[in-house]
Structure 1
Amino acid sequence: MADRHVDYLLIGGGIASATAAATLREEGATGTITIVGRELDPPYHRPPATKGYLQGKESKEDAHAHPADWYAEHDVELLTRTSVMALDTEAREASLSTKETVSYGEALIATGAMVRRLGGVDGSGLDGIHYVRALGNADAIRADAQDAERIVCIGGSYIGCEVAASLTAMGKRVAIVLQEAEPLSTGFGLRAGVFFRDVLESHGVEIFGSDEIAAFEGDGERVTTVRTGNGRELPADLVVCGVGATPDVMLARKAGLTLGEAGGVLCDTHLRTSAPHVYAAGDMAEYQSVVHDTVLRIEHEDVAMSQGATAARNMLGQDVPYDTVPYFFSDLADWVSLEYVGPARSWNEEAVVGAIADGAFAIYYLDGGVVRGALSVGGLDDLERARELIRSGESVSAADLGAESYPA
């Protein structure tokens, strides 16, 4: 028998649960709400961990999803440093790490993702090799970087590029090693990738593309060198790895929830899982997209927030599909900012508005004349227009977009 009952149990202490709690109250929920999260801190925005917070320009309070007194003011119970150890979806009960058993009316599972580690690389256990996902990781990197002169970032996606820019802005000499030819090119293509390389290099970041990590070497317990597959030996007082993440589905798998091909918890168009009264949101949700007519799993904070809101509305019986066109944003120090809607999984044409060399441009990613995604740099062009084109599936030409056409 459960020790107590909560009407809305939100599992995971991240931004999806924080948004779900706020949406429940905004939409009129009067029942009890409990957020269970294993981190020490209350729910917070993660992008500052590679940007302003890492640089020491923002505080933890700046990153928090809600002010400290918000939870009490909105009658939301927040359990930090607490995990759900088991979820019985038939009995609708959750066993907590505090030894308490809680029954629930509706549940959201939003346990996020775990960083992918380079455990198979020789020397990966040396001191000075960091991964970043939480604010605590940023604290450790900032402290370790104080006496570091040469830093190597691994990975050419958001994390690697953002950390490289932040540490360079802090006065460090930084190199990036990436498997792709150009940074950020996996999502944005080679034209945009060359632009981002130029931005990074113009501020002193070294870029080593089309390469991979062969080994880490050290002096005693501490890393000193990164050796690459192309034979480079890069001096490193500190290493930061940004090589992706894997959905945290340990609890979901144990609870018997159906998983998808991408490893996330499989959801329908309304973010309902295979278990009645259990929804999923955020990095570990693999959902049937009504916009893209395919199953997607997307790791980004804006997606987690919008999914948390949709799941909350459906907990209240509103029966609304998750039909948001995913939005992404990033900035490299204060050098350049970008926004993106999509995602474009594949495309055969790039329609470019403006001049890439000028640093204010947009790229529409077309597949057979249909817009699948759009990148805006420097605030150029209208992403709302791109959203509508992605939704409609309308066939357009580069000329319709006021753009120059280039093959992908």
Structure 2
Amino acid sequence: MLEPQRIVIVGAGLAGASAAAELRERGYRGGVVVLGGETHRPYELPPLSKGLLLGDTDEPDWVRDEDFYREHDIDLRLGTVANRVELGTRVVRDSDGGEHPYDRLLLATGSRPRTLPVPGMGVPGVRTLRTLDDSLWLRSAFHTAQRIVIVGAGWIGTEAAAAARRHGLDVTVVDQIGAPLLPVLGAEVAGVFQDLHTDNGVNWRLRGGVAEIVGDSDGVRGVRLTDGTELGADLVLVAVGAAPRVELAHAAGLELADDGGVSVDAGLRTAAPDVYAAGDIASHFHPRYGRRIRVEHWSNAKDQGTHVAGNLLGAQEPYVTSPYFFSDQYDLGCEYRGLADPGTDQLVVRGDLKSREFIAFWLREGQVRAAMNVNVWDHGDALKRMVNGRLKVDEETLTKGDLSSVG
């Protein structure tokens, strides 16, 4: 496969920027164009609901220094929205009328926050959290608001709840599920997070939905639930997940998978010649799991972006990295590796759930499918080996044995 003369990357988030940087790290001398709709240079998302929202920092983690793109001859075009891909002529068109011919194309368009299909979403004081501007706005609002209702008890919702409590707000979290993070962690481990937030003053309205956000042009006043209860609020955060930005790919005729992402093979290639996808939008056939998965975590965007650079230059290496994410809430820090089904997988716990110092393992047919360390930091390499190798480990070793000797 001949080396391309010009690579166009649509998306200036972590996946796209990581791919561009890796192309130069690998010595590629051809043209690299990165198109991004935001006006900020590429940054990482985790601080937006963690350190930046807490007030511990005033900037996100930038993917690269400000001068990096110029010094490495990467044509970073911020505030430029790609609105059409012509696969036949190999051209990307943008909303300003610009044309960007490519030899190889990477789509890394990321996700957008989901909203609620209820009246009141447009009322001032109702916000989602996805961008740097969102985070800065929300942090500023924390200084003047008194009561916030957070709709959604996932990772963004629970991290935002912790930040709001630090700022002294009265916090209520609403969700249809029975416990925060329940679909990911299962009832026992989810209960740890529910108790953590309860101990820190968060109010829960679970197993219920939102009927309306109440307010007018002067601002939000509350949230009316489906049971008729109205929760007072002068700030509302909607954190009900994200949807992959696949409109560009779909309009170009690329195949979409059942999970809503762009279908790619093990090497992150689409069925269209010389077109790849990475990050949130990539529905990737993962060799380790034998099926398609689509992962929205920070590490996946970074690692897939770095990996796909080699394939853009002619390699055909499958992407085999296991999912990974981390979270910090109050005095609890955790890391999760792998991919479990908490509804059917066996839960084995090393340590004490109540003390919030433990490692949770999820086993299927005796194999470690996922592991999460909570306020325990000594076994990261061992957990990675177990998850990546799908190692069979007996319960006694997991709960009491020397994990460093496993594998």
Measured against the shorter chain, the TM-score band is over 0.9
Say which of 353, 356, 378 aligns to 2:353. Answer: 356
Structure 1 residue 231: Cα displacement: 4.2
Distance (whole Å) between structure 1 residues aligned to residue 394 and residue 177 of structure 2: 29
Q: TM-score, normalised by structure 2?
A: 0.93
Q: 244, 247, 260: which is aligned to 2:244?
A: 247
AA in 2 matched with 1:227: R
Identity %, equivalent residues: 36
Q: 1:213-257, CA deviations, whole angstroms, 9 ceiling, x for partnerless residues?
A: 122222664221212234432111100010011110111011111
Report deviation, 1:6: 6.1
Q: Does the 8 Å CA contact 1:199/1:335 hold for their aligned counterparts?
A: no
Among 77, 81, 84, the residue aligned to 2:75: 77
* One-letter amino acid of the structure 2 residue matched with residue 78 of structure 1: L
Code of the residue aligned with 1:72 in structure 2: it is R
How far is the alpha carbon of 1:124 from its aligned partner? 2.6
Aligned-partner residue type, residue 340 of structure 2? A
SS, match of residue 308 in structure 1: helix
Q: Pick closer, same or farther for the CA change 1:224–1:6 going to 2, 3 Å.
A: farther
Segment of structure 1 superposing worse, 390-399 or 41-50: 390-399
Is the Cα contact below 8 Å between 2:87 and 2:272 reproduced in 1?
A: yes
Decide which of 270, 284, 293 is 2:290's aligned counterpart: 293
Aligned partner letter, 1:224: R
> SS of the residue aligned with 1:311?
helix
CA offsets 1:171-204 (integer angstroms, 9 cap, x no match): 2111111222111222111111111111111111
- 2:107 corresponds to which of 90, 106, 109: 109
Q: Structure 2: how far apart are the matches of 1:329 and 1:394?
A: 22
Say which is worse superposed, 375-384 or 279-288, in terms of deviation: 375-384
Q: Please give the alpha-carbon distance, in whole angstroms, between the structure 1 residues aligned to 2:217 and 2:134.
A: 23
Q: State the shift of 1:272 in Å.
A: 0.3
**Separation in 2 of the partners of 1:354 and 1:231?**
42
SS at match of 1:207: strand
CA distance in 2, matches of 1:294, 1:387: 20
* Range with greater deviation from structure 2 (372-381 or 313-322): 372-381
Q: Structure 2: how far apart are the matches of 1:155 and 1:394? A: 34
- Report the CA distance shift for 1:9/1:202 in structure 2 as closer, same or farther (over 3 A): same
- Counterpart of 1:310? 307
The CA distance in 2 between the partners of 1:385 and 1:291, in whole Å, is: 18
Q: Is contact 1:360-1:380 (8 Å) kept?
A: no
1:271 & 1:49 partners in 2: Cα distance?
27
Q: How does 1:247-396 map to 2 (within 5 A)?
A: 247-332=244-329, 334-346=330-342, 347-380=344-377, 382-396=379-393
In 2, Cα distance between equivalents of 1:110 and 1:195: 35
User: 2:400 & 2:177 partners in 1: Cα distance?
Assistant: 27
Q: Which moved more, 1:165-174 or 1:259-268?
A: 165-174
2:97 is matched with which residue? 99
**Equivalent-residue separation in structure 1 for 2:368 and 2:380 (angstroms):** 12
Counterpart position of 1:207: 204
- Which shifted more, 141-150 or 264-273? 141-150
Q: Which moved more, 1:275-284 or 1:5-14?
A: 5-14
Task: Summarize the alignment of residues 77-156 of structure 1 with structure 2, pairs less than 5 Å apart.
Answer: 77-118=75-116, 120-156=117-153
Q: Is the partner of 1:340 in helix, strand or coil?
A: strand
Instruction: Work out the CA distance in 2 between the residues paired with 1:27 and 1:83.
Output: 28
With over 3 angstroms needed to count, the CA separation of the structure-2 counterparts of 1:177 and 1:253, relative to structure 1, is same
Q: Work out the number of aligned pairs and report it.
A: 397
Distance 1:396 1:359 in 2: 23
Tell me which residue corresponds to 1:192. Answer: 189
- Give the conservation status (yes or no) of the 8 Å contact 2:80–2:96: yes
Contact 1:82/1:96 (CA < 8 Å) preserved in 2?
Answer: yes
Gaps of at least 5 residues in structure 1 are: none
Question: Following TM superposition, by how much is the alpha carbon of 1:99 offset from its aligned partner in structure 2, in angstroms?
Answer: 1.6
Q: Is 1:9 the equivalent of 2:5?
A: no
In the alignment, structure 2 segments of 5+ residues that lack a partner are 402-407
Give 1:232-243 correspondences, 5 Å limit.
232-243=229-240
**1:302 partner amino acid:** S
Within 1, Cα distance between the matches of 2:37 and 2:108? 12
Which stretch shows the higher mean deviation, 336-345 or 389-398? 389-398
Equivalent in the alignment of 1:401: 398
Question: Structure 2: how far apart are the matches of 1:278 and 1:290?
Answer: 20
Query: What whole-Å deviation, never above 9, does each CA across 1:354-398 have from its counterpart, x for those lacking one?
Result: 111111101001123222211110024524333333333343332
CA displacement at 1:133 relative to structure 2? 0.2
Shift of 1:326: 1.0
| Stretch deviating more after TM superposition (157-166 or 21-30) | 21-30
Partners of 1:281 and 1:308 lie apart in 2 by: 6
Give the Cα–Cα distance (whole angstroms) in 2 for the partners of residues 293 and 237 of structure 1: 47
Cα pair 1:17 1:35 within 8 Å, conserved: yes
In structure 1, the residue matched to 2:404 is: none
Matched, 1:63 2:61: yes
Q: Does structure 1 retain, via aligned residues, the 8 Å contact 2:332–2:375?
A: yes
